[in-house]
Amino acid sequence: MQSQRVWLLGFWASPFVQRVKWALKLKGVEYEYIEEDLFDKSSLLLKLNPVQKLVPVLVHNRKPISESILILEYIDEVWKQNPLLPHDPYERAQARFWAKFAEEKVRESTWDALCSRGEEREKAVKSSIEALEKFEEELKLKGTKFFGGETIGFVDLVAGFISYQLPVFEEVGSMKILDSSKFPATFDWIYNFLNHPVIKDDLPAKDLMFDYYAKRSKEISDEKDSCRNA
């Protein structure tokens, strides 16, 4: 399988793409990376993901797979080495639950916080903190280095944005979400995650992220204002 050609269509700042890159690296799968311009989408992307028109798209055996979490499941099923999901069905269900939680509760509320202003932002910051409290509790309960135990797994890859992207969101939005006194287990996890050999050498540059998210945050909140005033 590994000798067959693997492509990844991505976008440098996307946390959805980032988790797929990490997964391929953890598995030792070689692939060709194609950077996509999300503001001027290529005909290749539109052909490979006509339903969503989004990255990441993994192409394996000439077949395209979309949706980053589903791509992780695919990678784990095709390349068995260094499993991302646990073997036991109950443990698998738990891992999938926390990955979904990180994606839908933590990520969406932090993104809303970045892209809103005033009261709406305050509300989103509160939701982000509430979601992180549950994340913190689960990490404490597990008591392991990573969600995946002593090694990085499915939940860690999906939640990875908390370690490197959320601090940029906080800086761009001049807002405080990650408080080390409130989230000690999460801070330990962040430290372990960012120092993992696969992760530390594969992160977008912080200054480029800052500029990109400052611009996106302004564009999106301006759009919302113009909608509101329309």
Of the pair 93, 194, the CB lying nearest a second copy is at 93
Whose Cβ is closer to a second copy: residue 73's or residue 156's?
Answer: 73
* Least separation in angstroms between CB 71 and a second copy: 7
SS (H, E, C) 165-228: CHHHHHHHHCCCCCCCCCCHHHHHHHHHHHCCHHHHCCCCCHHHHHHHHHHHHHHHHHHHHHHH
What is the token pair recorded at 106? 């933590």
Q: Residue 141 or 150: which CB sits closer to a second copy?
A: 141
- In residues, how long is the chain? 230
In this complex, which beta carbon is closest to a second copy, that of residue 25 or of residue 134? 134
Of 164, 153, 161, 157, whose CA–CA distance to 131 is shortest? 161
Shortest distance, CB of residue 181 to a second copy, whole angstroms? 23
Contact (CB, 8 A) for 124 and 112? yes
Give yes or no for a contact between 115 and 220, defined as CB atoms under 8 angstroms apart. Answer: yes
What count of Cα atoms within 13 Å lies in the side-chain half-sphere of residue 180?
Answer: 5
Q: C-beta of 6: minimal distance to a second copy in Å? A: 13
| Nearest CB to a second copy, comparing residues 27 and 196 | 27
Shortest approach of a second copy to residue 67 CB, angstroms? 6
Q: How far is the CB of 51 from a second copy (least distance, A)?
A: 6
Note the residues at the interface with a second copy (CB under 8 A): 51, 60-61, 63, 65-67, 70-71, 73-74, 77-78, 89-90, 92-94, 96-97, 100-101, 134
Please state the closest distance from residue 139 (CB atom) to a second copy, in A: 13
Which one, 123 or 216, has the nearer CB to a second copy?
123
Cross-strand bridge partners of residue 32? 7
Smallest gap, in angstroms, from Cβ of residue 90 to a second copy?
Answer: 5
**C-beta separation of 9 from 65 below 8 A:** no
**Angle in degrees, 0-180, between the axes of helices 118-142 and 184-194, rounded to the nearest 10:** 80
H or E stretch at 15:
helix 15-27
In terms of CB distance, is 30 or 133 closer to a second copy?
133
